[in-house]
Amino acid sequence: MTSPRTLSSGSQVIVVLLFVLVFLSTELKRSLYALFSQFGQIVDIVAMKTAKMRGQAFVVFKELAASTNALRQLQGFPFYNKPMRIQYAKTDSEVIAKVKGTYGDKEKKKDKKKKALELGTNVPKKPAPVPDNPPNYILFLSNLPEETNEMMLSMLFNQFPGFKEVRLVPGKHDISFVEFESDGQAGVAKDALQGFRITATCAMKITFAKK
């Protein structure tokens, strides 16, 4: 495994190479962002589309400590039914070249044009509205996959202020409760993770629990 490197003066940017054996669609990219952003600010997530590197993504953190923590905490974490294998990247991605200021002007223009087109044709789809109850400090989760466990849900929700605990329902793998300190804090987490896919076929549904 390669060691972290300082990539630009005054700031440390580390690329985490993520092995996910699926094509990284916009929705998957959103799920990766939600999962990794709990460890620190993310500069970008770059999908690899070449045949040789398909199924890989670079997760670029702004800080060294954030990437190190993410690597340790998420190593082997089940993502879309496959355990993630994470290591430090051996080479700089295009986004890192941009951070370092070594990305050519021609490539910058090409990338800018490409992103402009993507914004117009590849707008992320918002999850369908889920019928809800009045605000509550406890969230009700449904449509969870069979392999869901307390650790997985805690890692998703503990990035939000006010998180207290996850409560599984014995004998029912597809539902769970998540408690926060206040209604408002629960609402922020609900909006951020609504539709999050733990597996390719299960989009998590989140509502306020009935009082």
* pLDDT number for residue 85: 80
Whole-number Cα distances in Å, 178 to 9, 80, 164: 42, 21, 8
* Cα angle for residues 89, 93, 95 (degrees, 5° grid): 125
Q: Hey, what domains does the chain have and what are their CATH numbers?
A: 14-121 (3.30.70.330), 138-208 (3.30.70.330)
Strand 138-142 to 205-208 pairing: antiparallel
Going by the DSSP 8-state scheme, the letter that residue 38 receives in this structure is G
Q: Is 47 helix (H, G, I), strand (E, B) or coil?
A: strand
pLDDT in tens, the chain (211 residues): 444 444 433 333 444 444 444 445 677 778 888 888 888 888 887 766 665 656 677 788 878 788 888 888 888 888 777 778 887 766 555 555 555 555 554 455 666 666 666 555 444 455 555 566 789 999 999 999 888 888 888 888 988 899 999 999 998 889 999 999 999 999 999 998 898 887 777 889 999 998 7
Contact 140, 186 (CB under 8 A): no
* pLDDT number for residue 207: 95
Between CA 61 and CA 72 the distance in angstroms is: 14
Contact 59, 18 (CB under 8 A): yes
Dig out the tokens for 172 from the structure.
Answer: 């029912």
Query: Can you give the pTM of this predicted structure?
Result: 0.50
Write out 120-163 in H/E/C secondary structure. Answer: HHCCCCCCCCCCCCCCCCEEEEECCCCCCCHHHHHHHHCCCCCE
Print burial letters for 186-195: b (CB count within 10 Å at least 16), e (below 16). Answer: bbebbeebbb
Q: Is 70 helix (H, G, I), strand (E, B) or coil?
A: helix
* pLDDT number for residue 117: 60
